[in-house]
Chains A and B, each alone.
Chain A
Amino acid sequence: MKKNIDKMCEKCNKIPAEVKLIIYEAGKKKVLHLCKSCAEEESLGISSSTSSPPVPKKEVPLLKPEEDLVCAGCGYKFSEFLKVSKFKCEKCYEAFEPYTSRVISEYHKAEEHKGKIYKGIYTENKEFKLKVLRRALDEAIKREEYERAARLRDLINELEKKDGS
């Protein structure tokens, strides 16, 4: 009698298992005894565990610094990044240097971005930014902060050049 119970579908546990499904999970082979409809769902990759062709997967290369790094933006630690290979916020990229650069160049075999350059949000916001910058420039000149004024002028020129992009 016990044998019969064992032969129930391992997923829904309601219908006797008819199908033996071999799935690969993280490169490991796993055998499941399922009823037909569960096997169908399973093999379509719709339910939680899925079968996949045993294809080699590229992993993010691992590195270990002597001292853990912490992102000032979000408090995330480099050691935590190493566990999941995901950054927590945009500031993590710079916070984890020089390891960020190594992780990225090792995976992508490249040193810097060569694609589309993001030019920022649209004119209304550009006008807003220009207004803010021009006011700051006026103030800087009034206060005779010439170095800062030069920097602001550069920023304004840069922003104005973005026109028509």
Chain B
Amino acid sequence: MNWKKKMVPDRFKWMSEKIPFWLRFTSPLYGDMVLSVRIRLARNLKGHMFPLFLNDEKKVRVFNLIRDALTSIKELKGLRIYEITELEDIEKEFLLERHLISKDLLKNGRGRGVCIDMEEKISLMINEEDHMRIQVFYPGFMFEEAFMKTMEIDDLIGSVIEYSFHKKYGFLTSCPTNVGTGFRISCLLHLPASVITGRVQDIINYSFSQDITVRGYYGEGSEVLGNIFQFSSLRTFGKSEEDILSNFKNAVYKIMDMEKEEREKLMRDSKDLLEDRVLRTIGILKNAKFLTSREVMEYTSHLRMGAGLNLIDINIEKLNEVMLLNQPAHIQILFGKRMEGKERDKFRGILIRSRLNIS
């Protein structure tokens, strides 16, 4: 029976073979700085207790209600629905690595799940902290597109499921920090120059002054990897969705200007050092037998900045691809084989050399 243990489930093979929409395109302007935009809406069903307080049976009932409603919407055909209990650990990690679900969704118990569309523009978490967390992902600077898509989905779902809504408090949520619009916008920004010069502290302080919180690569409670930070709007109440969006966008412009200033400074004062870093990185990627995913995040960051400053000619979408595929669960699903740390590190080297075409 040992062979079975080694097999990797192929439920997400369809997903692992392609790059999600939000990582596939980059804007020609600052494409190396803004990775993606995500909008999230928290919604609850009228007449049901919030999920954290539901037993398994009731959670399953809410899950089925939402599933039936979603399948009845013809505009949302093609959504794939997974219940968490049917997934293996490696598949849960795979979805986390793809930013499609949160760790909270993985807590024990039945009746939690996620719906994902083919392009991975939409991920709808069921029975996390709220009955529904509608998430929409877009690449780079596509704030407005993401916004319109989110509102469209919200209207569609809200027309077949009755949301919990209060005249004074707006959309009701389990946690009062999400009440009102239930609307949160976030953005993954790559800020290597500010990290080198230490300006990143100013950026974090500025963000807090704008009601924006700063997190690591995998969101709340995660670490900053490869100089990529997640910026996320904090307030959901007392401001319209449009206002939250426009404040956030202005702040992102400001942060990018700060990063740009630091890049210019570095190019002026220490271009040689930057070039050295990029070339060294290529040397390592070309020759290293083993690479950890932490290293890959670091090295792709060097190359990404190198590309942004025209120090090397490398396709940023290829870097996105490598960043995604090299992660522990991804690499195992991609190669169709369960692997321990060291073996993964070896396959990571192979993957990177072939995808980035450096050998």
Contact = CB atoms under 8 A, between A and B. Distances in A.
A58 B178 CA distance: 13
A128 interface: no
Interface in A33-67: 35-37, 40-41, 43-46, 50-53, 55-56, 58, 60
Contact of A111 (B47, B163, B215, B238): B238
A105 B170 CA distance: 13
A88 B292 CA distance: 43
Contacts of A43: 223, 225, 294
B247 to A, nearest CB: 13
A53 B223 contact: yes
A89 B172 CA distance: 9
A85 interface: yes
B93 to A, nearest CB: 5
A110 B170 CA distance: 12
A104 B170 contact: no
Contacts of A108: 179-180, 235-238
B50 A89 contact: yes
A111 to B, nearest CB: 7
Nearest to A76: B53
A52 B215 contact: yes
Interface residues of B, number: 71
B240 A112 contact: no
B338 interface: no
Contacts, number: 172
A104 B237 contact: yes
Interface string B65-102: 00000000000000000000000000001001100000
B294 A104 contact: no
B222 A40 contact: no
Contact of A44 (B53, B235, B241, B293): B293
B54 to A, nearest CB: 10
A140 B225 CA distance: 67
A121 B162 contact: yes
Interface residues of A, number: 47
A76 B53 CA distance: 10
Interface stretch (B7-15, B153-161, B261-269): B153-161
Contacts of A111: 238
B238 A112 contact: yes
Interface string B35-78: 00000000010111110110000000000000000000000000
B176 interface: yes
Interface in A117-134: 117-122, 125
Nearest to A97: B168
B53 A114 contact: no
Contact of A110 (B151, B161, B238): B238
Interface of B: 44, 46-50, 52-53, 93, 96-97, 103, 129, 151, 154, 158-177, 179-181, 183, 204, 208, 213-218, 220-225, 234-241, 243, 292-294, 327-328, 340-342, 344
Given A44-B218, A46-B218, A113-B179, 4 more contacts: A43-B225, A44-B294, A109-B235, A115-B180
